[in-house]
Amino acid sequence: MKKITIAALSALLVLALCVPAMAVDVQDSGTIAFGGASYDLSNNVFMEYSIDEPTNAQYYGLSAVHSGGNRMFATTSETSILWWKTVEKGNSNPDNIDETYTSGQFTTPWSSL
């Protein structure tokens, strides 16, 4: 579980720093192309990424889940906190997080790291 958490946090950090180069509403697993480069997600890791509009990637929402685990992780451009919630093992469908969610909008069942 510790390795999954570290991998998810690393992916969230890298993706947060690459915001302007990304596409809108990406949900995938495996190899994903962003800004002319390819990134390999670990096996059974799925992510959902969205921005407020293609011409202005100022606001973004990001969530990730490992289908072999029972936690989903998420963050947005409007919070400096990583959030998690318990999900059923086998989940391969991360939530589509609203780009403008602030810390106050991540309510139960979300918890902060």
Judge whether 112 and 106 are in contact, CB under 8 Å.
yes
Q: What is the pLDDT of residue 41?
A: 81
Considering Cα of 40, then 34, then 13, then 84, what sign does the dihedral take? negative
Q: What is the pLDDT of residue 25?
A: 43
> Would you call the peptide bond into 20 cis, given omega within 30 degrees of 0 as the criterion?
no
Residue type for position 66: H
Block mean pLDDT (10 aa), the chain, length 113: 59 50 50 66 84 74 91 93 95 89 91 92
pTM flag (> 0.75): no
Neighbours of 8 (CB within 10 A): 25
